[in-house]
Structure 1
């Protein structure tokens, strides 16, 4: 696995993929949530931001599809779980 593939898995699947979920879910449930557009972004903005994050993760995964192997997927999964746990801890306080 190359360093670039590991970085793509970390940034693409791990961070962007995981970050897309809460924004998309908050948006489709009609709840306001913060985005880079503002601290009290509308549900529509959250759906768009979540979709953009998911699309970027998909593009990175597609771009480096030949370099992604089981180790890379494991890194992406672990990064996603770590980010999800951090978000859960942050938002539950």
Structure 2
């Protein structure tokens, strides 16, 4: 059975993994997008930031690989989906 620390780790995995996607997509397609380096960060900065987020997610998964259960995977997935929906709402122009 996973500990509360492991559930937190998988929730963070979901957040970092989800956050990697838009930065990698924007960067790979040559578009500027906001990163901690600035509101109008270059495509290269976005690829670097997205890769860092992906590396953190992978590191969390690797460090907690013995705690992979339906519950921890559901935590990572659910947190990722909630974060993705909140990002979609934030960036949406349909308001």
Q: TM-score range by the shorter chain?
A: over 0.9
Question: Deviations for 1:26-52, whole angstroms, at most 9, x for unmatched residues?
Answer: 001111000001111000000000001
**Unaligned stretches of 5+ in structure 2?**
none
Q: How does 1:6-25 map to 2 (within 5 A)?
A: 6-12=7-13, 14-25=14-25
Query: What are the residue-to-residue correspondences of 1:1-93 with 2, within 5 Å?
Result: 1-12=2-13, 14-93=14-93
Aligned residues: 92
Structure 1 residue runs of 4 or more that deviate by more than 2 Å after TM superposition: none
Offset from partner CA, 1:2-61 (integer Å, 9 cap, x none)? 01110110012x100000000000001111000001111000000000001001100010
Task: Name the Cα RMSD after superposition.
Answer: 0.7
Within 2, Cα distance between the matches of 1:80 and 1:60? 14
Unaligned runs of 5+ in 1: none
TM-score by length of 2: 0.94
